[in-house]
Structure 1
Amino acid sequence: MKKVILLLIIVISVSCKNEAKKDVKKEVIVEVKKENFPNELGKVFEKHGGIKAWRNAKVLSFNKGEEVHTSDLHSRKIVINSPKYSLGFDGKEVWLDEETKGDYKGNPSFYYNLYFYFYAMPFVLADDGISYSKVDDLIFEGTNYPGYKISYASDKGTSPDDNYIVYYNPKTYQMEWLGYTVTFRSKKPSEKYKLIKYNKWENVNGFVLPKEITWYNKDEKGIPTEPARPATEFTLPLISQGKLADSFFEKPIVE
């Protein structure tokens, strides 16, 4: 009888332990990227579609004139195709199609991602290795546009001394202006900012991306005065969560 009672106690004990094990849930640790940009810029990103949605996107494409610019948003591989030439970045080096070298007059290393940065505003201003600092408002036609300066760590990109300043509408938080420096050739920091007005935007799969931008002249106080050149227009925009094959960004093989 004692053996029976002892056996029942053991069976009940084991059964309770098994039930307890069933109730134990594994703790799932989800790593959340900690953002370091100011709250105001977070509102700007949100106005343009949200930084989380942007980081889930994989491919960005747009036309500038006859050029088709296509970028992998994660690896930053890029290819530019036009009727006369093609160039790109395959993740390791910048290339220019051998058969079209005579048709392209610029510097591929400078140009391959130039308009990607202008077009992917303001989201590229949330890349890793960026520091932010508040700057004086930009004043244009009686409106004050608050701004933040963006600086890069010394190991980021081919021109880490380049700086950007994003100016936004204080009521809507939509981006309105971009100031930027060019240090590709000099390799030295500069305080000479070029200025672009983001004239028109359009909704592309939930993202507010530029449709037209205009470079502006400035007076001696840095206040924009008038357009420096005709507006640059972007057409046929596309942003997708689909991924392109690595071979898409490789230099064409000359047979």
Structure 2
Amino acid sequence: MKKVLLILLLVIAASCKNEAKKDVKKETISEAKIEKFPTELGKVFDAHGGIDAWRKGQVLSFNKGEEVHITDLHSRKIVVNTPEYSLGFDGRDIWSLEEVEGSLKRDPAFYYNLYFYFYAMPFVLADDGIIYEKVADLVFEGTNYPGYKISYKANVGTSPDDNYIVYYNPKRYKMEWLAYTVTFRSKAPVDTYKMIKYNSWENVNGFILPKQITWYSKDKDGKLEPTNKIVDFTMPLISQGKLADSFYEKPVK
């Protein structure tokens, strides 16, 4: 399965130049999108490759361990494949399939796009239906990181009460931290934030995307300490070629 996906994605990547040429005329006459995010966040997007360039992308792919995550950046259809299980969203339904019984130890509705959001930071913070609010700086090891809270309008997504806070380097404007709440199960706002530090980044076709992230917790004095939960992302790809809608459908056994 991995080899098939890799070959498919390489074909997409190779076709990007031709696809881009076909779209030049259409892009020239299209109406420009009016951005509504804060100027400082615009600088963060620019530091990571630019929101306009990001919106021209069609497919995002990355590996998390044995999981291959593939997402249509516009429809947000997703497939996650492993040798033992697969899951995804076909634009209407969330589905899952186990090759090895009992191997999928996660709720597909919660998990299918979880790591897409972590990986596609900070660009997903420019989605429609977002409300921005400046918050107090995060202070870590003597450095102040300015931040913006991101909340969602009612009925946006499966968990509209989720909140994110992105903290960025005040000089380079590169994202450094993400605070987030989880309301999927409670279906109600919560005040407790989980913390992720974006340890390292890599250049993927001009976009600065995460290579490794680490979860942090607070000790009894409120000091942030790293946990042993570390995730490495490998084999990244962003393409301007599209995949057929059928690619995101549940496979037939």
TM-score interval, smaller chain: 0.7 to 0.9
2:64 aligned partner:
64
* Identical pairs, percent: 72
Relative contact order (alpha carbons < 8 A, sep ≥ 6): 1 or 2 greater?
2
SS where residue 216 of structure 1 aligns?
strand
Change (3 A) 1:198 1:127: same
Q: Tell me the TM-score normalised to structure 2 length.
A: 0.86
Q: Partner residue of 1:4?
A: none
TM-score normalised by L of structure 1 = 0.86
- Larger deviation, residues 211-220 vs 57-66: 211-220
Aligned runs of 1:85-104 on 2, under 5 Å?
Answer: 85-97=85-97, 99-100=99-100, 102-104=102-104
In 2: Cα distance, 1:111 partner to 1:101 partner: 18
Runs of 4+ more than 2 Å apart = 98-102, 219-223
Query: Does 2:191 correspond to 1:191?
Result: yes
CA distance in 2, matches of 1:203, 1:70: 18
**Residue identity matched to 2:119:** Y
Q: 2:201: which partner in 1?
A: 201
Q: Distance in 1 between matches of 2:247 and 2:171?
A: 42
Residues 57, 222 of structure 1: alpha-carbon distance in 2 compared, 3 angstrom cutoff:
farther
- Structure 1 residue 114 corresponds to structure 2 residue 108: no
> How far did residue 116 of structure 1 move?
0.1
Looking at CA atoms only, which structure, 1 or 2, has the larger radius of gyration? 1
Q: Tell me the C-alpha RMSD between the 2 structures.
A: 1.4
User: Which ranges of structure 1 fall in alignment gaps of 5 or more residues?
Assistant: 1-27
5+ long unaligned stretches in structure 2: 1-27
For 2:62 and 2:127, the matched residues in 1 are separated by 20
The alignment of Structure 1 onto Structure 2 pairs a total of residues equal to 226
- Residues 138 and 223, structure 1, Cα contact 8 Å, conserved in 2: no
Name 1:132's counterpart in structure 2. Answer: 132
**Contact 1:139/1:223 (8 A) holds in 2:** no
- Cα deviation, residue 219, structure 1: 4.0
After superposition, the Cα gap between the structure-2 partners of 1:103 and 1:30, relative to the gap in structure 1 and judged at 3 Å, is closer
1:244 aligns with 2:240: no
The question of whether the paired residues in 1 share the 8 Å contact of 2:202 and 2:211 is answered with yes
- CA deviations 1:87-111 (Å, max 9, x no partner) are 0000001000154552211100000
